Amino acid sequence: MVVDPLNLDGYKILIMSKVNKCKICRRLGTKLFLKGEKCLSAKCPMVRRPYPPGEKGKRRKGGLSEYGRELREKQKLRYWYNLEESQFQKYVKEILEKRGRVEDAVSLLIKKLESRLDNVIFRLGFAVSRAQARQLVSHGHFLLNGKPVNIPSIEVKKGDKITPHPSFQKSSFFRNILITLKKHKPPSWLELDIKKLEGKVKGEPSVEEAAPPAEIPVIFEFYSK
């Protein structure tokens, strides 16, 4: 079992492989859209119980220390992109080694995270969450430029084409995706051709359009210590 301790100034929640994802959002105080359509409905626990889980959640007061704030922002972005700590740390450290201005570092990090194949599949609407997209890629349900891939972390580039595997297109699971796909609007740097069931990378992601839920400069401070 994978256990990831989340410490936020005096309290801890153990994030496990089969964790209640809604509790992650409640603990971090931000809706991270980890459960697809449920996050957009009135049943979302962040709407019904917008306070940390636990008996004393409603009464918990007081601000976080600087370390706690940095940790919280880091966890927000990591769970947003559905990454293990080692994966996320690798991305941030890589940017830190070659960064100039903070603004450039923020753009570089978001570009790398958004360009992951699993994120692109999610952004195109072929999956309801990044977790689902990662699983679909791992099972070989997509083609990149006509070739089968099973590595979610592959970084796509301008001109790349992503299509569902022919066998996957015949599944009932994919037929359900088609219902919502017709109403889906991907970000401007991606293009979706519903008739061809093909997604294309036509530009580069931006921080503004990605709209990350965290203060990214604070995350760099966390890993700089």
Task: Specify the pLDDT at position 3.
Answer: 36
Question: Which of 165, 120, 113 has the alpha carbon at shortest distance from 139?
Answer: 165
- Pairing mode, strands 3-7 and 12-16: antiparallel
Domains and CATH numbers, the chain: 3-53+64-113+210-224 (1.10.1050.10), 116-201 (3.10.290.10)
Task: Specify the pLDDT at position 158.
Answer: 97
* SS3 at position 200: strand
Task: Specify the pLDDT at position 6.
Answer: 39
Task: Specify the pLDDT at position 58.
Answer: 55
Spell out, as residue ranges, where the chain has pLDDT lower than 70: 1-51, 53-62, 99-103
Task: Specify the pLDDT at position 14.
Answer: 34
Taking the C-alpha atoms of residue 102 and residue 164, their distance in angstroms, rounded to an integer, is: 37
3-state SS of 137-161 is HHCCCEEECCEEECCCCCECCCCCE
Task: Specify the pLDDT at position 225.
Answer: 80
The angle formed by the CA atoms of residues 206, 209 and 212, to the nearest 5 degrees, is 90
Taking the C-alpha atoms of residue 218 and residue 224, their distance in angstroms, rounded to an integer, is: 10
